[in-house]
A and B are shown apart, each in its own frame.
Chain A
Amino acid sequence: MLSNVTAGQAVHEKYGGVVPELASRAHQQNIIPVVDAAIKEAGISKNEIDAVAFTRGPGLLGSLLVGTSFAKSFAMGLGVPLIDVNHMQGHILAHFIKKKGETSVVPTFPFICLTVSGGHTQIVLVKDYLKMEVMGETMDDAAGEAFDKAAKVLGLPYPGGPLIDKYAKQGNAEAFKFSYPKTDGYTFSFSGLKTQFMNFIRNNEQKDPYFVKNNLEDICASYQAHIVSYLFKKLVPAIEEYGVADVAIAGGVSANSGLRTRLAEEGAKRNWNVFIPEFQFCTDNAAMIAVTGYYKLLNKDFADQSITPMARLKI
Protein backbone atom coordinates (compact mmCIF):
# COMPACT_ATOMS: atom_id res chain seq x y z
CA MET A 1 0.00 0.00 0.00
CA LEU A 2 1.40 3.37 -1.03
CA SER A 3 -1.51 5.61 -0.05
CA ASN A 4 -5.01 5.42 1.41
CA VAL A 5 -6.95 8.67 1.14
CA THR A 6 -10.44 9.36 2.50
CA ALA A 7 -12.60 12.39 1.78
CA GLY A 8 -14.67 12.10 4.96
CA GLN A 9 -13.26 15.06 6.79
CA ALA A 10 -13.33 17.42 3.82
CA VAL A 11 -16.93 16.45 3.05
CA HIS A 12 -17.90 17.10 6.65
CA GLU A 13 -16.37 20.52 6.63
CA LYS A 14 -18.04 21.41 3.37
CA TYR A 15 -21.48 19.96 4.00
CA GLY A 16 -21.91 20.13 7.77
CA GLY A 17 -23.78 17.11 8.99
CA VAL A 18 -23.92 14.97 5.87
CA VAL A 19 -23.19 11.31 6.57
CA PRO A 20 -20.05 11.21 4.40
CA GLU A 21 -20.24 7.74 2.84
CA LEU A 22 -23.81 8.41 1.71
CA ALA A 23 -23.56 11.73 0.00
CA SER A 24 -23.31 10.72 -3.65
CA ARG A 25 -23.42 14.30 -4.85
CA ALA A 26 -20.55 15.09 -2.54
CA HIS A 27 -18.76 12.00 -3.86
CA GLN A 28 -19.02 13.41 -7.33
CA GLN A 29 -17.21 16.54 -6.23
CA ASN A 30 -14.62 14.69 -4.18
CA ILE A 31 -13.67 11.71 -6.27
CA ILE A 32 -11.18 13.42 -8.57
CA PRO A 33 -9.37 15.40 -5.84
CA VAL A 34 -9.18 12.23 -3.69
CA VAL A 35 -7.79 10.05 -6.49
CA ASP A 36 -5.34 12.81 -7.39
CA ALA A 37 -4.18 13.08 -3.77
CA ALA A 38 -3.79 9.29 -3.53
CA ILE A 39 -1.59 9.22 -6.64
CA LYS A 40 0.54 12.13 -5.41
CA GLU A 41 0.89 10.66 -1.93
CA ALA A 42 1.96 7.33 -3.45
CA GLY A 43 4.70 9.16 -5.37
CA ILE A 44 3.83 7.53 -8.67
CA SER A 45 2.64 8.83 -11.99
CA LYS A 46 -0.64 7.88 -13.64
CA ASN A 47 1.08 5.77 -16.31
CA GLU A 48 2.45 3.42 -13.62
CA ILE A 49 -1.09 2.31 -12.70
CA ASP A 50 -1.66 -1.33 -13.75
CA ALA A 51 -5.43 -1.52 -13.20
CA VAL A 52 -8.34 0.39 -11.67
CA ALA A 53 -10.43 -1.34 -8.98
CA PHE A 54 -13.79 -0.02 -7.78
CA THR A 55 -16.57 -1.04 -5.37
CA ARG A 56 -19.47 -2.61 -7.23
CA GLY A 57 -21.58 -3.16 -4.07
CA PRO A 58 -23.19 -3.68 -1.66
CA GLY A 59 -23.96 -0.08 -0.81
CA LEU A 60 -26.07 2.93 -1.63
CA LEU A 61 -26.69 3.03 -5.37
CA GLY A 62 -26.04 6.76 -5.84
CA SER A 63 -22.57 6.52 -4.28
CA LEU A 64 -21.73 3.29 -6.13
CA LEU A 65 -22.70 4.92 -9.43
CA VAL A 66 -20.22 7.74 -8.93
CA GLY A 67 -17.35 5.32 -8.23
CA THR A 68 -18.29 2.95 -11.04
CA SER A 69 -18.56 5.71 -13.65
CA PHE A 70 -15.29 7.27 -12.58
CA ALA A 71 -13.44 3.91 -12.53
CA LYS A 72 -14.70 3.04 -16.01
CA SER A 73 -13.60 6.38 -17.46
CA PHE A 74 -10.24 6.31 -15.67
CA ALA A 75 -9.47 2.72 -16.79
CA MET A 76 -10.51 3.51 -20.34
CA GLY A 77 -8.44 6.69 -20.41
CA LEU A 78 -5.35 4.89 -19.10
CA GLY A 79 -5.94 1.83 -21.27
CA VAL A 80 -5.69 -0.51 -18.26
CA PRO A 81 -8.00 -3.28 -16.96
CA LEU A 82 -11.08 -2.45 -14.88
CA ILE A 83 -11.72 -4.59 -11.77
CA ASP A 84 -14.98 -4.79 -9.82
CA VAL A 85 -14.72 -5.46 -6.08
CA ASN A 86 -17.27 -6.68 -3.56
CA HIS A 87 -17.16 -4.40 -0.50
CA MET A 88 -17.63 -7.35 1.90
CA GLN A 89 -14.72 -9.29 0.34
CA GLY A 90 -12.70 -6.10 0.66
CA HIS A 91 -13.30 -5.98 4.44
CA ILE A 92 -11.90 -9.50 4.78
CA LEU A 93 -8.93 -8.99 2.45
CA ALA A 94 -7.99 -5.88 4.47
CA HIS A 95 -5.95 -8.43 6.46
CA PHE A 96 -3.60 -8.72 3.46
CA ILE A 97 -2.79 -5.02 3.10
CA LYS A 98 0.98 -4.61 3.23
CA LYS A 99 2.36 -1.23 4.15
CA LYS A 100 5.55 -0.12 2.41
CA GLY A 101 8.64 -1.30 4.26
CA GLU A 102 6.66 -3.33 6.83
CA THR A 103 6.18 -7.06 7.06
CA SER A 104 3.06 -8.48 8.61
CA VAL A 105 1.74 -11.91 9.55
CA VAL A 106 -1.35 -12.79 7.52
CA PRO A 107 -4.01 -15.50 7.97
CA THR A 108 -3.46 -18.87 6.26
CA PHE A 109 -6.23 -20.38 4.14
CA PRO A 110 -8.71 -21.66 4.97
CA PHE A 111 -9.66 -19.30 7.78
CA ILE A 112 -12.89 -17.99 9.26
CA CYS A 113 -13.68 -14.30 9.38
CA LEU A 114 -16.35 -12.63 11.48
CA THR A 115 -17.29 -9.43 9.64
CA VAL A 116 -19.18 -7.05 11.92
CA SER A 117 -20.21 -3.50 11.08
CA GLY A 118 -23.13 -1.12 11.32
CA GLY A 119 -24.74 -2.75 8.31
CA HIS A 120 -23.45 -6.33 8.32
CA THR A 121 -22.84 -9.35 10.54
CA GLN A 122 -21.41 -12.37 8.72
CA ILE A 123 -19.41 -15.51 9.48
CA VAL A 124 -17.41 -16.23 6.33
CA LEU A 125 -15.32 -19.28 5.45
CA VAL A 126 -12.39 -17.90 3.46
CA LYS A 127 -10.94 -20.68 1.30
CA ASP A 128 -8.71 -18.49 -0.83
CA TYR A 129 -8.31 -14.79 -1.64
CA LEU A 130 -11.37 -14.80 -3.83
CA LYS A 131 -13.14 -18.00 -2.72
CA MET A 132 -15.42 -17.16 0.16
CA GLU A 133 -18.58 -18.71 1.50
CA VAL A 134 -21.00 -16.97 3.85
CA MET A 135 -21.83 -19.52 6.56
CA GLY A 136 -24.28 -17.32 8.41
CA GLU A 137 -25.44 -13.75 8.66
CA THR A 138 -28.00 -11.59 10.43
CA MET A 139 -31.66 -11.91 9.56
CA ASP A 140 -32.49 -8.37 10.71
CA ASP A 141 -30.31 -5.74 12.44
CA ALA A 142 -26.51 -5.82 12.31
CA ALA A 143 -24.33 -6.09 15.42
CA GLY A 144 -23.24 -2.47 15.04
CA GLU A 145 -26.86 -1.42 15.05
CA ALA A 146 -27.50 -3.30 18.29
CA PHE A 147 -24.83 -1.03 19.80
CA ASP A 148 -26.03 2.17 18.13
CA LYS A 149 -29.70 1.66 19.01
CA ALA A 150 -28.94 0.79 22.63
CA ALA A 151 -26.85 3.95 22.77
CA LYS A 152 -29.88 5.91 21.60
CA VAL A 153 -32.02 4.43 24.40
CA LEU A 154 -29.30 5.55 26.81
CA GLY A 155 -29.42 9.06 25.37
CA LEU A 156 -25.97 8.90 23.74
CA PRO A 157 -25.40 10.55 20.33
CA TYR A 158 -25.22 8.57 17.04
CA PRO A 159 -23.19 6.50 16.34
CA GLY A 160 -23.17 5.48 19.98
CA GLY A 161 -21.31 2.17 19.61
CA PRO A 162 -17.88 3.66 20.36
CA LEU A 163 -19.32 5.48 23.41
CA ILE A 164 -20.79 2.24 24.79
CA ASP A 165 -17.30 0.76 24.41
CA LYS A 166 -15.81 3.72 26.28
CA TYR A 167 -18.20 3.47 29.26
CA ALA A 168 -18.03 -0.34 29.24
CA LYS A 169 -14.34 -0.18 30.11
CA GLN A 170 -15.21 1.25 33.55
CA GLY A 171 -18.16 -1.03 34.25
CA ASN A 172 -18.94 -4.47 35.62
CA ALA A 173 -19.95 -6.83 32.81
CA GLU A 174 -21.64 -9.18 35.28
CA ALA A 175 -23.97 -6.52 36.71
CA PHE A 176 -26.95 -7.20 34.43
CA LYS A 177 -28.06 -10.27 32.53
CA PHE A 178 -29.70 -10.49 29.11
CA SER A 179 -30.97 -13.53 27.25
CA TYR A 180 -29.75 -14.78 23.87
CA PRO A 181 -31.89 -14.55 20.73
CA LYS A 182 -32.82 -18.03 19.49
CA THR A 183 -31.57 -18.43 15.94
CA ASP A 184 -30.61 -21.59 14.07
CA GLY A 185 -27.14 -22.53 12.88
CA TYR A 186 -24.91 -19.54 12.23
CA THR A 187 -27.77 -17.08 11.72
CA PHE A 188 -27.85 -14.00 13.93
CA SER A 189 -30.77 -11.81 15.02
CA PHE A 190 -30.18 -8.54 16.83
CA SER A 191 -33.64 -6.99 16.54
CA GLY A 192 -34.98 -8.91 19.55
CA LEU A 193 -31.93 -7.95 21.60
CA LYS A 194 -32.66 -4.28 20.97
CA THR A 195 -36.27 -4.71 22.19
CA GLN A 196 -35.06 -6.65 25.21
CA PHE A 197 -32.66 -3.83 26.07
CA MET A 198 -35.39 -1.19 25.73
CA ASN A 199 -37.77 -3.10 28.00
CA PHE A 200 -34.94 -3.59 30.48
CA ILE A 201 -34.27 0.15 30.63
CA ARG A 202 -37.97 1.06 30.71
CA ASN A 203 -38.74 -1.37 33.54
CA ASN A 204 -35.82 -0.20 35.62
CA GLU A 205 -36.55 3.47 35.03
CA GLN A 206 -40.06 2.96 36.36
CA LYS A 207 -38.50 1.89 39.66
CA ASP A 208 -35.64 4.39 39.59
CA PRO A 209 -35.75 7.46 37.30
CA TYR A 210 -31.96 7.81 37.65
CA PHE A 211 -31.27 4.18 36.73
CA VAL A 212 -29.35 4.96 33.54
CA LYS A 213 -27.39 7.81 35.06
CA ASN A 214 -26.39 5.80 38.12
CA ASN A 215 -25.54 2.60 36.27
CA LEU A 216 -24.32 3.75 32.84
CA GLU A 217 -20.93 2.01 33.02
CA ASP A 218 -22.37 -1.29 34.28
CA ILE A 219 -25.21 -1.22 31.73
CA CYS A 220 -22.75 -0.61 28.86
CA ALA A 221 -20.30 -3.27 30.12
CA SER A 222 -23.04 -5.90 30.56
CA TYR A 223 -24.72 -5.20 27.23
CA GLN A 224 -21.45 -5.09 25.30
CA ALA A 225 -20.25 -8.35 26.87
CA HIS A 226 -23.60 -9.91 25.98
CA ILE A 227 -23.37 -8.94 22.30
CA VAL A 228 -19.79 -10.18 22.14
CA SER A 229 -20.81 -13.47 23.82
CA TYR A 230 -23.63 -13.92 21.33
CA LEU A 231 -21.16 -13.44 18.45
CA PHE A 232 -18.87 -16.08 19.97
CA LYS A 233 -21.77 -18.48 20.59
CA LYS A 234 -22.02 -18.71 16.80
CA LEU A 235 -18.37 -18.22 15.90
CA VAL A 236 -16.90 -20.97 18.10
CA PRO A 237 -19.02 -23.84 16.67
CA ALA A 238 -18.31 -22.58 13.13
CA ILE A 239 -14.57 -22.76 13.79
CA GLU A 240 -14.90 -26.20 15.38
CA GLU A 241 -17.01 -27.50 12.50
CA TYR A 242 -14.45 -26.48 9.90
CA GLY A 243 -11.40 -27.18 12.05
CA VAL A 244 -9.61 -24.01 10.98
CA ALA A 245 -6.66 -22.70 12.99
CA ASP A 246 -6.85 -19.07 11.88
CA VAL A 247 -9.63 -16.71 12.92
CA ALA A 248 -10.04 -13.11 11.83
CA ILE A 249 -12.42 -10.25 12.50
CA ALA A 250 -13.22 -7.41 10.10
CA GLY A 251 -15.54 -4.41 9.72
CA GLY A 252 -16.16 -1.32 11.84
CA VAL A 253 -17.24 -3.20 15.00
CA SER A 254 -13.88 -5.00 15.04
CA ALA A 255 -12.62 -1.72 16.53
CA ASN A 256 -14.67 -2.57 19.66
CA SER A 257 -12.28 -3.29 22.54
CA GLY A 258 -14.60 -5.87 24.12
CA LEU A 259 -14.61 -7.90 20.91
CA ARG A 260 -10.85 -7.55 20.40
CA THR A 261 -10.06 -8.62 23.97
CA ARG A 262 -12.45 -11.57 23.86
CA LEU A 263 -10.98 -12.77 20.55
CA ALA A 264 -7.46 -12.64 21.98
CA GLU A 265 -8.60 -14.57 25.10
CA GLU A 266 -10.51 -17.23 23.15
CA GLY A 267 -7.58 -17.56 20.77
CA ALA A 268 -5.14 -18.19 23.62
CA LYS A 269 -7.55 -20.67 25.24
CA ARG A 270 -8.43 -22.57 22.06
CA ASN A 271 -5.11 -22.37 20.21
CA TRP A 272 -6.36 -20.17 17.40
CA ASN A 273 -4.14 -17.74 15.53
CA VAL A 274 -6.17 -14.57 15.72
CA PHE A 275 -6.05 -11.62 13.32
CA ILE A 276 -7.37 -8.16 14.11
CA PRO A 277 -6.94 -5.45 11.47
CA GLU A 278 -5.38 -2.10 12.21
CA PHE A 279 -8.06 0.46 13.09
CA GLN A 280 -7.74 2.41 9.80
CA PHE A 281 -8.50 -0.82 7.88
CA CYS A 282 -11.50 -1.86 10.05
CA THR A 283 -13.74 0.95 8.89
CA ASP A 284 -14.56 1.51 5.22
CA ASN A 285 -11.39 2.43 3.30
CA ALA A 286 -9.92 2.43 -0.19
CA ALA A 287 -6.90 0.23 0.56
CA MET A 288 -9.11 -2.82 1.16
CA ILE A 289 -10.65 -2.36 -2.29
CA ALA A 290 -7.21 -1.94 -3.84
CA VAL A 291 -5.82 -5.11 -2.21
CA THR A 292 -8.83 -7.12 -3.43
CA GLY A 293 -8.29 -5.62 -6.87
CA TYR A 294 -4.65 -6.74 -6.71
CA TYR A 295 -5.61 -10.41 -6.18
CA LYS A 296 -8.19 -10.20 -8.96
CA LEU A 297 -5.50 -8.68 -11.19
CA LEU A 298 -3.22 -11.69 -10.50
CA ASN A 299 -6.14 -13.94 -11.56
CA LYS A 300 -6.80 -11.74 -14.59
CA ASP A 301 -10.38 -11.44 -13.31
CA PHE A 302 -11.45 -8.24 -15.03
CA ALA A 303 -14.76 -6.43 -15.55
CA ASP A 304 -15.82 -5.08 -18.92
CA GLN A 305 -17.13 -1.61 -19.64
CA SER A 306 -20.77 -2.76 -19.53
CA ILE A 307 -20.64 -3.50 -15.79
CA THR A 308 -23.19 -1.77 -13.53
CA PRO A 309 -23.17 -1.30 -9.73
CA MET A 310 -25.32 -3.60 -7.56
CA ALA A 311 -26.73 -2.22 -4.32
CA ARG A 312 -27.49 -5.74 -3.05
CA LEU A 313 -24.31 -7.53 -4.22
CA LYS A 314 -23.61 -10.81 -2.35
CA ILE A 315 -20.28 -12.51 -1.59
Chain B
Amino acid sequence: MNKTFDIEHVDQLGEVANQIATLSEDNSVIVFNGEMGAGKTTLINQVCKLLKVISPISSPTYGIVNTYERESGDDVFHFDFYRLADEMEAVQSGLDEMLDSGNICLIEWAERILKLLPMNYVRVNISITGENSRKIEITKV
Protein backbone atom coordinates (compact mmCIF):
# COMPACT_ATOMS: atom_id res chain seq x y z
CA MET B 1 0.00 0.00 0.00
CA ASN B 2 1.21 3.46 -0.87
CA LYS B 3 -0.73 6.67 -0.53
CA THR B 4 0.35 10.28 -1.05
CA PHE B 5 -1.25 13.42 0.34
CA ASP B 6 -0.52 16.99 -0.70
CA ILE B 7 -1.27 19.23 2.25
CA GLU B 8 -1.66 22.99 1.87
CA HIS B 9 -2.44 23.74 5.49
CA VAL B 10 -2.20 22.08 8.90
CA ASP B 11 -6.03 21.84 8.98
CA GLN B 12 -5.83 19.14 6.28
CA LEU B 13 -3.76 16.82 8.48
CA GLY B 14 -6.90 15.17 9.87
CA GLU B 15 -7.33 12.96 6.81
CA VAL B 16 -3.70 11.79 6.99
CA ALA B 17 -3.96 11.13 10.73
CA ASN B 18 -7.12 9.14 10.13
CA GLN B 19 -5.36 6.91 7.59
CA ILE B 20 -2.47 6.30 10.00
CA ALA B 21 -4.77 5.55 12.94
CA THR B 22 -6.63 2.99 10.82
CA LEU B 23 -3.39 1.32 9.73
CA SER B 24 -2.23 1.17 13.37
CA GLU B 25 -4.94 -1.42 14.06
CA ASP B 26 -2.86 -4.04 12.21
CA ASN B 27 0.61 -2.46 12.39
CA SER B 28 1.78 -1.45 15.84
CA VAL B 29 4.97 0.25 14.65
CA ILE B 30 4.70 3.50 12.72
CA VAL B 31 7.78 5.40 11.62
CA PHE B 32 7.70 9.14 10.88
CA ASN B 33 10.46 10.55 8.66
CA GLY B 34 11.01 14.22 7.92
CA GLU B 35 13.48 16.95 8.71
CA MET B 36 13.17 18.99 11.88
CA GLY B 37 10.17 21.30 11.64
CA ALA B 38 8.45 19.13 9.00
CA GLY B 39 5.65 18.51 11.47
CA LYS B 40 6.31 14.97 12.77
CA THR B 41 5.21 15.81 16.32
CA THR B 42 2.17 17.77 15.05
CA LEU B 43 0.99 14.80 13.01
CA ILE B 44 1.64 12.39 15.88
CA ASN B 45 -0.42 14.66 18.10
CA GLN B 46 -3.39 14.28 15.76
CA VAL B 47 -2.93 10.52 15.45
CA CYS B 48 -2.91 10.27 19.26
CA LYS B 49 -6.20 12.14 19.48
CA LEU B 50 -7.78 9.59 17.12
CA LEU B 51 -6.30 6.77 19.24
CA LYS B 52 -8.13 8.34 22.21
CA VAL B 53 -4.97 9.16 24.11
CA ILE B 54 -5.86 10.92 27.37
CA SER B 55 -2.34 11.94 28.45
CA PRO B 56 -0.87 15.23 27.22
CA ILE B 57 1.38 14.77 24.17
CA SER B 58 4.82 16.34 24.37
CA SER B 59 8.18 16.06 22.70
CA PRO B 60 10.17 12.91 23.61
CA THR B 61 13.53 14.21 22.35
CA TYR B 62 15.05 14.55 25.80
CA GLY B 63 13.46 11.51 27.40
CA ILE B 64 13.76 9.32 24.24
CA VAL B 65 10.32 7.82 24.89
CA ASN B 66 7.03 9.18 26.23
CA THR B 67 4.34 6.81 27.42
CA TYR B 68 0.75 7.93 26.86
CA GLU B 69 -2.37 6.33 28.24
CA ARG B 70 -5.37 5.58 26.02
CA GLU B 71 -8.99 5.69 27.13
CA SER B 72 -8.94 1.88 26.82
CA GLY B 73 -6.14 1.70 29.42
CA ASP B 74 -3.54 0.61 26.82
CA ASP B 75 -0.28 2.50 26.41
CA VAL B 76 1.04 4.26 23.32
CA PHE B 77 4.81 4.77 23.07
CA HIS B 78 6.16 7.89 21.36
CA PHE B 79 9.88 7.55 20.59
CA ASP B 80 12.50 9.96 19.37
CA PHE B 81 15.81 8.19 18.74
CA TYR B 82 17.60 11.37 17.74
CA ARG B 83 19.94 11.25 20.75
CA LEU B 84 20.99 7.64 20.18
CA ALA B 85 23.90 6.66 17.96
CA ASP B 86 22.83 3.15 16.97
CA GLU B 87 20.82 0.01 17.76
CA MET B 88 23.25 -1.02 20.51
CA GLU B 89 22.34 2.03 22.58
CA ALA B 90 18.63 1.27 22.26
CA VAL B 91 19.23 -2.29 23.40
CA GLN B 92 21.35 -1.14 26.36
CA SER B 93 18.50 1.13 27.38
CA GLY B 94 15.94 -1.68 27.15
CA LEU B 95 14.01 0.19 24.44
CA ASP B 96 13.88 -2.86 22.17
CA GLU B 97 11.48 -4.48 24.62
CA MET B 98 9.05 -1.60 24.23
CA LEU B 99 9.18 -1.91 20.43
CA ASP B 100 8.28 -5.60 20.73
CA SER B 101 5.53 -5.03 23.28
CA GLY B 102 2.65 -4.96 20.78
CA ASN B 103 1.63 -1.50 21.99
CA ILE B 104 1.36 1.16 19.31
CA CYS B 105 4.80 2.73 18.80
CA LEU B 106 5.03 6.10 17.04
CA ILE B 107 8.66 6.65 16.12
CA GLU B 108 10.69 9.69 15.13
CA TRP B 109 14.32 9.34 13.96
CA ALA B 110 13.93 5.59 13.37
CA GLU B 111 16.97 5.62 11.03
CA ARG B 112 19.09 5.29 14.19
CA ILE B 113 17.53 1.91 15.04
CA LEU B 114 16.54 0.42 11.64
CA LYS B 115 17.67 -3.10 12.61
CA LEU B 116 15.24 -3.16 15.54
CA LEU B 117 12.14 -2.46 13.45
CA PRO B 118 9.78 -5.42 12.88
CA MET B 119 9.33 -7.05 9.44
CA ASN B 120 6.11 -5.14 8.86
CA TYR B 121 5.58 -1.52 9.77
CA VAL B 122 4.11 1.68 8.40
CA ARG B 123 6.37 4.42 7.09
CA VAL B 124 5.23 8.03 6.91
CA ASN B 125 7.50 10.38 4.94
CA ILE B 126 6.88 14.10 5.36
CA SER B 127 8.57 16.54 2.98
CA ILE B 128 8.43 20.31 3.23
CA THR B 129 7.12 21.78 -0.04
CA GLY B 130 6.55 25.34 1.23
CA GLU B 131 6.24 27.33 4.45
CA ASN B 132 2.90 25.65 5.29
CA SER B 133 2.56 22.96 2.63
CA ARG B 134 3.78 19.37 2.97
CA LYS B 135 3.85 16.19 0.88
CA ILE B 136 3.05 13.14 3.03
CA GLU B 137 3.61 9.63 1.77
CA ILE B 138 2.30 6.61 3.69
CA THR B 139 3.80 3.20 2.84
CA LYS B 140 3.18 -0.23 4.30
CA VAL B 141 6.58 -1.89 4.50
Question: Using a CB–CB distance below 8 Å, which chain A residues touch chain B?
Answer: 15-19, 22-26, 58-63, 117-119, 138-142, 144-145, 148-149, 152-153, 158, 191, 194-195, 198-199, 311-312
Contact = CB atoms under 8 A, between A and B. Distances in A.
5 contacts: A23-B92, A25-B93, A60-B64, A140-B41, A142-B62
B65 interface: yes
A194 B41 CA distance: 12
Closest 5 CB pairs of A and B: A62-B94, A119-B62, A118-B62, A17-B85, A141-B59
A19 B36 contact: no
Given A22-B93, A26-B92, A139-B58, A59 B63 contact: yes
Given A19-B83, A19-B89, A149-B36, A60 B58 contact: no
Interface of chain B, helix or strand or loop or mixed? Answer: loop
Interface of B: 36-37, 41-42, 55-59, 61-67, 69, 82-85, 89, 91-95, 97, 131
A148 B61 contact: yes
Contacts of A59: 63
A149 B61 contact: yes
B58 A140 contact: yes
B61 to A, nearest CB: 5
Given A25-B91, A158-B83, A195-B37, 19 more contacts: A15-B92, A16-B85, A17-B89, A19-B64, A22-B89, A24-B92, A25-B93, A62-B97, A138-B58, A139-B56, A140-B41, A140-B58, A145-B62, A148-B61, A149-B36, A149-B61, A191-B59, A194-B36, A312-B69
B67 A61 contact: yes
A139 B45 CA distance: 11
Contact of A142 (B59, B92, B94): B59
A61 B89 CA distance: 15
A119 B36 CA distance: 18
A199 B131 CA distance: 8
B69 to A, nearest CB: 8
Nearest to B60: A119
Contacts of B67: 61, 311-312
A203 to B, nearest CB: 9
B59 A145 contact: yes
A59 B60 CA distance: 11
Contacts of B57: 140
Contacts of A119: 62-63
B137 to A, nearest CB: 21
Contacts of B58: 138-142
A152 B36 CA distance: 9
Contact of B63 (A26, A60, A152, A158): A60
Contacts of B63: 58-60, 119
B116 to A, nearest CB: 15
B72 to A, nearest CB: 17
Contacts of B37: 194-195, 198-199
